[in-house]
Amino acid sequence: MYIWIILAFGLGVLLIPVVRRFANAVGAVDAPRERHNHKRITPTLGGLAIFISFSIAFFLAPIDRTGFLPVYIGALIIVFTGVVDDIVELSPKIKLIGQVVAALCVTIWGNVTIEFINVPFYGQLDFGLFSIPLSIIWIIAIINAVNLIDGLDGLAGGVSIIALTTIAGMALLLKDAFVAPVAILLVASVFAFLIFNFPPASIFMGDTGSLFLGYMIAILSLMGFKNVTFISLLVPLIILGVPVSDTFFAIVRRLKKKMPISSADRSHIHHRLMALGFTERQTVLLIYSMALLFSLTAFVFSVSTAWGSIILLLLMVICVEVIVEFIGLVGEDYRPLLNILQKIHRKRK
């Protein structure tokens, strides 16, 4: 397997300069704007190099690819959507259509769905006809979670590497001969890209990369943790704790301000950390640390008892809420838990 990992990484390193020139030639560039942190025009389409290097290594590696065609066709649809968006900037509705088509491809044709879960203290809960729509919602949610966190150099790539490495590690523990090698090859391809994307970046992954990585993370988590317990179903959500919580609180924030959910703002987790005085590199490394903590929590969560998992989940939710209130992710006036803690502290004094 090592030779194919090296191949994926090596191809990625060789392809990035080629893709960078191609992006400049077709006008797939990102000019500095009010919400952006970069100061110069930067080529996008870096995700195309990730996709190509991964694809070549994947199809050459001795991996059982039975049943993977629908997944790969879905990936092609996602990558095509991202490439077009990076060049001409599609509307959110058109991008969503591309995501839905890819999700339909993999769920209906590929039968990659969540069919049932075993709920603690209840028993088996069958989704029946709802398995496909729930799986589609899952795929689209993860795609957009990764897409939304792609706001700083190296951020989405690093968080994706941590998530994919965790998925690969759990798949190895479960002796999954497909999910583990696929996730590892993806990690190698993203690592190659990160060399050129870590601050200061000379190329961005663009929607081509963020949509593709979100899609693959969603699919691999479905394939690796499907038809299992409610506890196991939460594992991929915990692994993706940073982008998922950032997306969730972005929705809460926009609903609170009576703004459209699809509207953009400068209140994502990386914006708030930089507003507190952290540099771009410090912010990226801090979010990497958060992602690592979520991944470690996911490992502990997956081997805990039902009661242990519930307690761990509650502690994690409380910690996330404290961080959200402290950095002002929902709004600077949103501090319900911190206000309660302050009152308790004053009474003790």
Looking at 51-55, 105-109, 247-251, 300-304, which range is the least confident one? 300-304
Distance of alpha carbon 300 from alpha carbon 286, whole angstroms = 21
* Number of domains comprising the chain: 1
Query: What residue numbers bound the domain in which 56 lies?
Result: 2-348
Task: Note the pLDDT tens digit of each residue in 132-170.
Answer: 999 999 999 999 989 988 888 888 999 999 999 999 988
Is 86 annotated as a binding-site member? no
8 A C-beta contact, residue 218 and residue 143: yes
Question: Pick from 43, 45, 41, 56: which is nearest to 9 by CA?
Answer: 56
Is 147 annotated as a binding-site member? yes
Better-predicted residue by pLDDT, 173 or 10? 10
Which residue is it, tokens 């095509």? 80
Give the model's pLDDT for residue 175: 84
Distance of alpha carbon 196 from alpha carbon 193, whole angstroms = 6
Token pair belonging to 307:
């009661």
The string of DSSP codes covering 240-270 is THHHHHHHHHHHHHHHHTT--TT---S-SHH
Please give the model's pTM, rounded to 2 decimal places. Answer: 0.88
Evaluated on CA atoms 19, 57, 192, 173, the torsion sign reads positive
Give the model's pLDDT for residue 227: 45
Token pair belonging to 97:
């259509």
Give the model's pLDDT for residue 103: 96
The string of DSSP codes covering 38-63 is --S-EE--HHHHHHHHHHHHHHHS--
Task: Note the pLDDT tens digit of each residue in 9-66.
Answer: 999 999 999 999 999 999 999 877 655 555 678 999 999 999 999 999 999 999 999 8
